[in-house]
A and B are shown apart, each in its own frame.
Chain A
């Protein structure tokens, strides 16, 4: 015999289920985003100039608000006129000393990042 519930009980039960489902989707998505960030961080490191290795080892993932993640390179160099400058800014944007690779690498990495998110969510839902 089916369980009888009134509409208020059903609404509460449904809300609870949706909340749990939402939490689980959120957590899975967050893990997926984390995996995608690791993929990008590794690909940026692989594409980085290799001179001393310090720049390559300076890629960091920072957790932002909610699902956002930022990937930054913390290596700086001394400017002769105005303090420290992030080396990645010089490489990506300088007209004289530049060797841009960050944005190109990001665009190339998009399929791998999407794949990392999908694999993580699938693995979690097994």
Chain B
């Protein structure tokens, strides 16, 4: 009987929990009461992490496709094949014919070594993570405006925020521990503002619920900025001391009309005003939004950060911007440079000094032109250029819903898949390399509050699979690189040399407390609770002007319903881990069982008006086509809105045809007519 503290493998909260083991089996899980992120609470996924971890369904040995069928082979044979193919493709088509993609659930060590393999050994910047299309917008905007691509404050501070504004994320289902904090903060007296088309569980507690029409956030936040300016609530001291570009921003804001904005957003002017005043006047106000999974345009992120700068709600306790990452290591994977245009630590690949610095540690010359994104690769193999792809824990056939991934994979000369199970993507692989499971290796994840934490090894893996990071090291060695990492701790030591804000994050230091929040440097080994807590250096903040969008009326007359395609809600239902727990399957996939032909969600009042009952067949008629599907009637969806879960692909295709990838995200609804079929 033994137990060890570890970090949960599911979402970006990074809850601390204990895994109980007996005779090399994980037999139980219990939350940590002292862990600063969750303090004794976890969600239904965490409560079943012990069931997931013990699934017998996993891959035991490397698989090599021979004559169209998979055959179990030795590691030497598998990695030898991979190395030979990689070299052949590079020799014939150039380094940029190769791409290295991973999942935001990969560990820091795996991610770091994967992009190092790509850049230092293969010679390409074609690296990206699976949710890149969604979250890179946020990173670029944050870097631009506040200089740090991450949540500025800590989760624990939410209990001390006077005002909390939550934009477009259903915390109760996506990040429940944070949802709980927000609910408890509200119960303790905080004012809760929810900006969301959906009335979710946490929204039930809102003091101010701005249930806006999809696609109108820029208008709403611009209007709020206007109110703040008009009412003289701008924190001029803050703006003058630390912000740039205020005038350009102000010029645009003055073009916003509160009443017109209210009309188009579908939210009363009064409510917008109250929200603006509450946010501006609060001693400490926090904005929470989600960066990954859900696609969102850069303008709406800019508009939110503008508000924080306008009112000085950055750099103090209980305030800040929470750029929430929904996967356990989306933050870490980005910190490690799994982006085509940024190195580990976010310096641009186009910057020669940055390349020289990293290349100095790696003893390699780094490629200078930014690489292809995951989206570009799946759309058309980046114009047909990509011929070989390495996928670490990434299952794009299932999750990259916007493209025909199988078609892209089938045209490649090399598809390497590292995973625990034989996923849908693995079916198209030339080589499948089995990794070890959660709890079978010691690695680190970086949570949404910048907390770099160790996920402990609690049991020995079965014979056969190897840790993903070791597979990368061996591959590099076969390719001739003199990589020599004896442990993940050694990998982290090197990460500390390359990523300045990880420089103090040795495993020893991380093990001393509950991880460390970066920046964690040699000078600041205890890490940083909230950014700018020691003061704001120079003038690092920048307003971004966001003009009034070109939108005269919300919806065309004959297509009055706004249809949005949601990627976050129901995301975890497709997750391969969830499919290996009886209970999680029952809980998260039950909606798929109740509606076996798929479904779209419509508002209950709208349904009543059209004589549609839950489970009825309905027709959606748009300008580009029409689709037949099943109605799921719920009070959560805003009247006049239709929510399409991302896995209901036929609806997307039938309505949008070729335009599918562009439209249909939260920023740009597609307008349709709804009727009973």
Do A and B associate with each other? no
A residues in contact (CB < 8 Å) with B: none
Which B residues form the contact surface with A (CB < 8 A)?
none
